[in-house]
Amino acid sequence: MGTKVMIPLCSDFGEKHGSICIFGTGDFGRSLGSKLMQNGYSVVFGSRHPGETSLLPRGAEVLSHAEAVQNCSIIIVAVQRDHYDFLKNLKEALEGKILVDVSNNLTINQYPDSNAEYLAQIVPRATVVKAFNTVSAWALQSGSLDASRQVFVCSNDSQAKQQIMDIIRAIGLTPQDKGSLGMAKEIEDYPLQLFPMWRLPMCTCAGLTVLVFLYCVIQDIIYNAEKNIDVSYLLMITIPNRIFPVVSLMLLALCYLPGAFAAIIQLYRGTKYSRFPNWLDRWMLCRKQLGLVALSYAFLHAIYTLVIPIRYSARHRTETFIINQVMLNKTRAFEKPLTWRSDTYLALGILGFFFYIVLGITSLPSVSNAVNWREFRFVQSKLGYLTLLLCTGHAMVFGWNRFLLLDRYRWYMPPVYTLSLVIPCVVLILKLVLIIPCIDTRITKIRQGWERSPSKKAETKLKTCSL
């Protein structure tokens, strides 16, 4: 899906477009220059040592910085921020020109201000546009733009921005207007990110996985090893298939816990204009990722479960069981309650998994963009709680009364499924309390802007901005 645009390498529509100056003959400057030339722009390179530069695309002039600037209104500064100083000597030559800052940093927050704003400060009479930093030299050369073709652009001058956006479009990329130059910092941080919103959910998930794994290992493998029974083969499927559902259910409940906390805080404070504690803010912002991690564990649980009848150990158990029954010459009676229980927890699990997946699909960017707020909240809240309810029910019916059979407690450790039920039950009880009509009305009022005692609250409200 997605058709590749095959731009002719040596198009001959020549000098249709204007001349663009590129400062810097490094990898990115050369790649961008060559791409621009392929699309009909004439390119002039500006270099400290114009004679020594090799490796440039054929047809490109290399001049000194001052000479290169003369006939161009657009200058692309493909130079590290550390070397911006040379621009101070070109102040007059650069007056009224458009400077395009393409630089990236090595780490987030390397400098207090953004490179583009720093450039604007060095050459105050030029117009600075931030662009191209999300594209790699490699992508420009290979033309394989499978990843994002988006180029974020920002500038305080909307006409200059427009010109640069036209160039971006001309070379087959998609400009995205990010507003004023103040957004440059964010644009510069963007390519350095590696799933920042996923870090907290991933760590939570990893932590829970390790804990539950150790719990299972102690309860099953070590407990049996004590008795000289080696059941280490459980490590491959049985134990993972105990970890996945337990952690998945916990994570799903953790998606809805902060919402409940937030409602309680708002109820207690009687206003929505005070800020939540920081940890709650961070937690609330990563709920989507938390949910997707939970979904992936639920998916793994589903397949691990469906695969059971194919496993050698399961088949062997069935065989042995049947053969033993034949030997003893007896038949197991058909127990209807057992059928009900077995079918109920399977049905609850399947329905829970189904709504889980619907939630996952709704969080795809293109789908969530196509629904309005009312629809989004309907799905994420109503459907979300339904999913949590179904999955909690699934775990409960699965476990049934096993948590009461104390002889099943190995080393006084309750079965692992009981652990998984703690957080979901807390969340569901909180939710149940919060939808009691009188409390629900109060929360709705607070969320619409009502406050318990406006006069007193007014001073504390939005105080972060008064500092």
Phi, psi (deg, nearest 5) at residue 332: -75, 125
Residue 267 CA, chain-centre distance (Å), reads: 31
- Cβ–Cβ under 8 Å, residues 295 and 359: yes
Smallest gap from residue 253 Cβ to a second copy (A): 19
Distance CA(237)–CA(156), nearest Å, equals 58
- Cβ–Cβ under 8 Å, residues 356 and 298: yes
Taking the least distance from each CB to a second copy, the nearer of 101 and 451 is: 451
Residue 289 CA, chain-centre distance (Å), reads: 6
Distance CA(321)–CA(161), nearest Å, equals 76
Distance CA(416)–CA(42), nearest Å, equals 69
Helix (H, G, I), strand (E, B) or coil at 366: helix
Nearest in space to 199 (alpha carbons), one of 300, 293, 295, 301: 293
Q: What is the DSSP string of 419-465?
A: HHHHHHHHHHHHHHHHTSHHHHHHHHHHHTT--SSHHHHTTTTTGGG
Smallest gap from residue 241 Cβ to a second copy (A): 10
Smallest gap from residue 95 Cβ to a second copy (A): 22
Beta strand pairing status for 98-101 and 127-130?
parallel
Taking the least distance from each CB to a second copy, the nearer of 52 and 85 is: 52
Distance CA(46)–CA(28), nearest Å, equals 14
Helix (H, G, I), strand (E, B) or coil at 21: strand
Taking the least distance from each CB to a second copy, the nearer of 170 and 413 is: 170
Smallest gap from residue 345 Cβ to a second copy (A): 9
Instruction: List the beta strands (DSSP E) in 172-231.
Output: 174-177
Smallest gap from residue 454 Cβ to a second copy (A): 5
Taking the least distance from each CB to a second copy, the nearer of 366 and 401 is: 366
Taking the least distance from each CB to a second copy, the nearer of 224 and 305 is: 305
Sign of CA dihedral 45, 50, 55, 58: positive
Taking the least distance from each CB to a second copy, the nearer of 16 and 88 is: 16
Taking the least distance from each CB to a second copy, the nearer of 1 and 406 is: 1
Q: Residue 351, class by beta-carbon neighbours within 10 Å (0-12 exposed, 13-18 middle, 19+ buried)?
A: middle
Distance CA(359)–CA(296), nearest Å, equals 12
Smallest gap from residue 51 Cβ to a second copy (A): 13
Taking the least distance from each CB to a second copy, the nearer of 4 and 91 is: 4
Smallest gap from residue 393 Cβ to a second copy (A): 12
Smallest gap from residue 147 Cβ to a second copy (A): 4
Distance CA(419)–CA(409), nearest Å, equals 13
Smallest gap from residue 216 Cβ to a second copy (A): 15
Smallest gap from residue 16 Cβ to a second copy (A): 7
Taking the least distance from each CB to a second copy, the nearer of 69 and 153 is: 153
> Of all helices (H) and strands (E), which one includes residue 203?
helix 199-216
Taking the least distance from each CB to a second copy, the nearer of 69 and 298 is: 298
